[in-house]
Amino acid sequence: MPEQNLSTERAAAIAKIRTALIEQKMTQAELADNACCHEKTIQNMMAGRQVRDQTLFDVCAVLGLDFEAIRQGWSGAAVSGPMELKGDGGLAAPVYMGAYTKAAVDHYIGTYLTVRPAFSKPDTYVAYRTDIVWDPGWPSLLFEESERPDVTYQHRGRIYVPASSMFVHLVSLTKGAMRMVMVSQLDQSGHMRGLITTLNKKGAMLIPVSTPIVFAKRKEISADEVGEIAAGHPAHGSYRSLIEEATRDGYARLVG
């Protein structure tokens, strides 16, 4: 559909999206990256071609626009029936993230002591803080790391919760670079256990690595609990037990 033949309502919706892009100093490529879709999809949308409601929802979430208003303008008529992403607990996460509502996952919200083996130092653990919150601007669980010894590599991303799986996925995605943590759903003891898959700098190269990881929900985390935990540290034994439990009890398996 050539843009000059657009309805007045759809043209107005596109104008709002363009204005939001300018205000946030964001390119179409960056919008596609943040909305987890292909840049060609954004180009089609800006040209006024038909796109899925899911795409409009994700774009509105990234740009802080009113989805219902943009959707109504896109269709040129009042939208009848319930919104695709409505749930009993309010707005749900996008379908590709599991379409979960805040009410269904609010027990994940909180602070976690995060422990994994160090990638390069034997018999050493890396411990840091991970906070999980609900992001109303882009309805979904958001995680953010802090107090890591390697501050440069602290991650921030979204949590995917498949409806038919006992595992959840903590994914950070920046310009095509992805890190994924797959852990068991939060249990009654406040633990999530599984694997982290990421890149580790070794010399001049980055190489793929994977290792067990554990998230332990805490009300508070003291300064002496985080950092590089080597043998002899008071917490070393308990961290070793946490990691050993992850593989012994079947939450993760390293093959080969």
Domains of the chain in start order, with CATH, are 3-84 (1.10.260.40), 102-248 (2.40.128.120)
What digits encode the pLDDT tens for the residues 132-190? 999 887 789 999 999 998 888 888 899 999 988 999 999 987 666 788 999 999 999 99
- Window from 55-69, 100-114, 226-240 with minimum mean pLDDT: 55-69
pTM for this one?
Answer: 0.68
CA 90, CA 135: separation in Å to the nearest integer?
Answer: 12
Count of beta carbons in the 10 Å neighbourhood of residue 235: 18
**pLDDT band at residue 3 under the 50/70/90 scheme:** very low
What digits encode the pLDDT tens for the residues 73-115? 887 644 444 344 444 445 788 878 888 999 999 999 999 999 9
Return the exposure string of 189-218: e unless at least 16 CB atoms fall within 10 Å of the residue's CB, then b.
eebbbbbbebeeeeeeeeeeeebbbbbbbe
Q: Are 155 and 174 in contact (CB under 8 A)?
A: no
Q: What is the mean pLDDT of residues 191-215?
A: 92
**What percentage of the chain exceeds 90 in pLDDT?**
49
Q: Are 170 and 157 in contact (CB under 8 A)?
A: yes
CA 60, CA 71: separation in Å to the nearest integer?
Answer: 10
